[in-house]
Amino acid sequence: MKPEALVKVTAALESGGATINQIIHGRPVGGGAVNRSLRLVDSAAFYRHRRENPEFDRFVAEASANNNRLGQKIRYARERTRAQTEARREEASDYQKILAMFPANFPGRSDAAHDVFVAMFEGSLKREDVRPRVKLFIAAHDRMFPMKYANFAGRPLVSLDARLFDEGTMTLGDTISRGLWD
């Protein structure tokens, strides 16, 4: 092994942040794709130097004693991060999943989905209970915003955009703001 490579290897092992796999193969600590820029020395030269120099071999053994623990610690931290990221992505796609539970032709689809999220936030609804209660949210939305079958004082509800007379252009909304004879 060349003297400059020996100095780099010794410094990397003394710092405690490098493993033997990283030094000779370029594998990052904790797993991941091989990064050739992390490689400091050829594996054959490294192991030959260890065989020929017993004090270097003892130094490498002592310096790399906790590398397995360090690698596992980093690997498990990555797995926890990956699991948390996946859970957040799952929550982010909840809106699309809940929206898909409502019929496509339901006019208050987004409002009802919003009501589901409010109920989940308040704690009155659990995630696993959403599907069975979709019909209840549709019924509540229909009660709040009745369609053509609702009555007010014995008459069906009419839109403010409805024309007052068949031959005219005046709407019901116009009579509210300007009066019938203005």
**pTM of the model as a whole:** 0.40
Residue 117 contacts residue 126 (beta carbons within 8 Å): no
Domain assignment present for 127: yes
Domain assignment present for 109: yes
In this prediction, the residues of the chain whose per-residue pLDDT falls under 70 are 30, 67-68, 70-71, 146-157, 177-182
- Residues 8, 65, single domain; the answer is yes
Domain assignment present for 84: no
- Residues 55, 9, single domain; the answer is yes
Rounded-to-integer distance, Cα 95 and Cα 120, Å? 12
Per-residue model confidence as pLDDT tens digits over 69-104? 766 777 788 889 999 998 888 777 788 888 888 888
Q: What is the pLDDT of residue 150?
A: 59
Rounded-to-integer distance, Cα 104 and Cα 117, Å? 19
Domain assignment present for 85: no
**Number of neighbouring beta carbons within 10 Å of residue 45:** 15
Domain count, the chain: 3
- Residues 141, 166, single domain; the answer is no
Rounded-to-integer distance, Cα 79 and Cα 71, Å? 12
Domain assignment present for 135: yes
Q: What is the pLDDT of residue 111?
A: 87
Residue 125 contacts residue 133 (beta carbons within 8 Å): yes
- Residues 140, 161, single domain; the answer is no
Contacts of 54-60 spanning 24+ positions with Cβ under 8 A: 59/10, 59/13, 60/13, 60/20
Domain assignment present for 90: no
- Residues 11, 65, single domain; the answer is yes
Q: What is the pLDDT of residue 54?
A: 92
Domain range enclosing 8: 3-71
Domain assignment present for 89: no
